[in-house]
Amino acid sequence: MALIVQKYGGSSVADVEKVKSVARRVAAATAGNQLIVVVSAMGKTTDSLIGLANQVVPAPDPREMDMLLATGEQVTIALLAMALQGLGLRARSFTGAQAGLRTDDAHTKARITQITAERVRRALDAGEIVVVAGFQGVSDADEITTLGRGGSDLTAVALAAAVKADVCEIYTDVDGVYTADPNIVPEAKKLDRISYDEMLEMASLGAKVLQSRSVEFAKKYGVPVHVRSTFKSDPGTLVTREDPNMEAVVVTGIAHDRGQAKVTIRGVPDRPGIAAQVFGTVSDHGIVVDMIVQNVSRDGLSDISFTVPRGDRPTVVATLEDVATKIGAESVTYDDRIAKVSIVGVGMRSHSGVAARMFRALSREGVNIHMISTSEIAVSCVIEDKYVELAVRALHDTFELAV
Ligand code: ADP
Ligand code: ASP
Ligand code: MG
């Protein structure tokens, strides 16, 4: 008997018919197995709830935001449990708190601190199918929290680790992890396997097929993750430990991210302590900075540019305007029309000239590079947003990922 965690994303449970069809798929997997099913909010519910909050106030209180957002998943768990019961199966739904998913108190981006999963285990032992609300948890102060966008993936992986499940299956609207977003590159190829490290880079560089923190968690606890289609029964992509054959491929995939903004502080006095002051202020707001570039100084002044999640850009600009005045900088400017394209592959560790090939491919298309960053297994460029699809396709071609 296997213990399986299945997670169904928003588009897989977008309406009642889809919820019923997920119930049938779950039912088919129950034969001889124990099942935990994690679900997201239906369709675009989370986006709609955020829209509602923003109509009420421009910057909603994060605690109330979590109170609101957590309702989305609660609708789905109840409907799915009903649908399973309608098929004659024993099923019981649990909120994140009831499933024992404890988090810190960082509302809207909480981190998991502990999972007790006692009620989950008891229900499984009693022969019930356990249905759990993704994306939500509870803090030590008994406040409802959420785990950041895409957080149901993390709920599924974390529960799989806590109950030592045999596999964590992520069911979604594509049939696996592709060499690039198949909605942008139609000839992208489905990967049979991808290493945790490559998947982590792909996810953190924008491939939203898995939430990056869920991959981090899966790697840490060695949870085998299988990404596959809700609507087809074909095998999908196994996210797993690296094996020696994986290094033979230089570039495994192309990722892109349209969710960032670039902020620049111009005319910054070039003296020790300035960067610490600027980035200290940003991190005091809990905002994560991605790429940073400081220009060579001229006449004792330099420019510092960096990227942040676009949703955080207004806060960053507002707070840095104060800092700029204090440190005697000239101005703070920003650009929301940027995108990041990246190439990812463990093979880059042992091959040289990969970054240069990437830059040549972009230049052939006339795409100007604004910022560059590298890691051991990835190279990223910030470019103008309007060129992002062109850039992804050009890189997919250059690294011959379709063949
Ligand atoms: P869910 O609602 O099931 O969580 P998401 O929308 O979060 O689904 O993730 C699935 C989407 O991820 C796909 O529809 C696809 O557009 C996008 N995506 C981006 N990069 C990739 C990739 N490399 N492989 C597969 N899908 C990708
Ligand atoms: N419903 C949440 C979101 O849209 C969590 C998830 O779908 O994973 O971000
Ligand atoms: Mg998702």
Q: Are 135 and 49 in contact (CB under 8 A)?
A: no
Amino acid present at 76: T
Cα–Cα dist 40/12, whole Å: 9
For residue 245, give both structure tokens.
């054959």
For residue 15, give both structure tokens.
């309406």
Q: Is the dihedral of CA 23, 29, 32, 36 positive or negative?
A: negative
Digit-coded pLDDT (tens) for 226-252: 999 999 999 999 999 988 777 678 999
Write the DSSP assignment of 125-189 as a string of letters.
HTTPEEEEETTEEEETTS-EEE--TTTHHHHHHHHHHHTT-SEEEEEESSSS-BSS-TTT-TT--
Starting from the CA of residue 203, give the closest ligand: 1
Ligand 2 in reach of 9 Cβ (< 6 A): yes
Which residues line the pocket of ligand 1, CB cutoff 6 A? 9-12, 40, 150, 172-174, 177-178, 180-183, 207-209, 253
User: Which backbone phi and psi does 15 adopt, to 5 degrees?
Assistant: -145, 180
Q: Quote the pTM value.
A: 0.94
Starting from the CA of residue 156, give the closest ligand: 2
Rounded distance from Cα 256 to ligand 2 centre (Å): 19
Digit-coded pLDDT (tens) for 342-377: 999 999 988 889 999 999 999 999 999 999 999 999
Digit-coded pLDDT (tens) for 293-314: 988 878 889 999 999 999 899 9
Amino acid present at 306: F
Amino acid present at 308: V
Task: Render each residue's pLDDT in the chain as its tens digit; 403 residues.
Answer: 899 999 999 999 999 999 999 999 999 999 999 999 999 999 999 999 999 999 999 889 999 999 999 999 999 999 999 999 999 999 999 999 999 999 999 999 999 999 999 999 999 999 999 999 999 999 999 999 999 999 999 999 999 999 999 999 999 999 999 999 999 999 999 999 999 999 999 999 999 999 999 999 999 999 999 999 999 999 999 999 988 777 678 999 999 999 999 999 999 998 889 889 999 999 998 898 999 998 887 888 999 999 999 989 999 999 999 999 999 999 999 999 999 999 999 999 888 899 999 999 999 999 999 999 999 999 999 999 999 999 999 999 999 999 7
Tally of CB atoms within 10 A around 341: 28
Amino acid present at 134: G
Rounded distance from Cα 45 to ligand 2 centre (Å): 9
Name the residue of 101, 135, 136 to mutate for ligand 2: max ligand atoms within 8 A of Cβ.
135
First-to-last C-alpha distance (Å) of the chain: 39
Burial of 76 (0-12, 13-18, 19+ CB in 10 A): buried
Cα–Cα dist 90/127, whole Å: 7
